[in-house]
Structure 1
Amino acid sequence: MRDGIHPEYRPVAFKDGSADHVFIIRSTVKTKDKLTVDGVEYPAVLLDTSSLSHPFYTGKQKVIDTGGRVGKFNARYGAKK
């Protein structure tokens, strides 16, 4: 392989603003932000939501049936007898 064509694969801090939690994983993402975690400075990516704050993963997701769409679907394609 040619040298110098691949992005740097390094530890990056991903901060979930909703849950105020930081994930440090290796990534090639480019960012100008910095974040210090345990005395070590990492490039940072600020997230709106992650698995710690997303309603699907926290079990707080609500299914809203607007206009009886779920009922219509179940009547048309539901379990056949």
Structure 2
Amino acid sequence: MKNNIHPEYHTLTVTCSTCGNTFETGSTQKDIKVDTCSNCHPFYTGKQKYKNVAGRIDKFNKKYGIQEDEEQE
């Protein structure tokens, strides 16, 4: 490895601005702040909300006068 060409590597504390969770990691930066972390992100916490797809379909059908009871031949 060549001398004096690589950035300095630091051990730092990452802070989540949403929940205040902190954890240590290594980086060439001296300070890292994140908006969401695995402690508060809905995907990781299991509190993810899904859009009501059936409601959107009903709204579309109502808008264009499509009845769901119609049988296609």
| Structure 2 unmatched runs, 5+ | 58-73
| Structure 1 unmatched runs, 5+ | 31-42, 69-81
Shift of residue 9, structure 1, vs aligned partner: 1.6
Report the counterpart of residue 56 of structure 2 in structure 1: 67
* CA distance in 2: counterparts of 1:44 and 1:53, whole angstroms: 20
More helix by share: 2
Give every structure 1 segment of 4 or more consecutive aligned residues whose post-TM-superposition deviation is greater than 3 Å.
none
The TM-score, its normalising length taken from structure 1, stands at 0.58
* CA distance in 2: counterparts of 1:6 and 1:52, whole angstroms: 33
More strand by share: 1
User: Root-mean-square deviation (CA), in Å?
Assistant: 1.6
Aligned counterpart in structure 1 of residue 36 of structure 2, from 49, 54, 58: 49
* CA distance in 2: counterparts of 1:44 and 1:22, whole angstroms: 12
